[in-house]
Amino acid sequence: MSGQFTNEEIMNKYDIKNVSQIKTWMKWYRENQVHRFNQPIGKQYSYGQGPDSASEEEKKERQFNHYKQENEILKKYLEIEKELKKK
């Protein structure tokens, strides 16, 4: 963040294959999303299944909202499927 090193120097030092990874980390840092650095490499949390540091109540609320959204999508899909079968 200080500008002391170039992206290429950082990539070589830490064996990073793509500059987009550095940009992503910088974005997380600027947006105060430092909890994301605890994610395992290559692991993206599913919606509602965030880091273990969240309280049980928060996890359940996120999971409930996730299921609610899934349900709405499935309802829309079934409506579209029904309309297509009529044609």
Whether the Cβ atoms of residue 47 and residue 62 lie closer than 8 Å to each other: yes
Per-residue pLDDT band for 81 (boundaries 50, 70, 90) equals: confident
Per-residue pLDDT band for 49 (boundaries 50, 70, 90) equals: low
Q: How far apart (Å, rounded) are the C-alpha atoms in residues 34 and 27?
A: 10
Range of the domain at 14: 1-44
Give the per-residue pLDDT at 54.
64
- 10-14, 23-27, 34-38, 63-67: which has the minimum mean pLDDT? 34-38
Total number of domains in the chain: 2
Same-domain status, 76 and 61: yes
Counts for the chain of helices (H) and strands (E), in that order? 3, 0
Same-domain status, 34 and 6: yes
Sign of CA dihedral 46, 52, 58, 61: positive
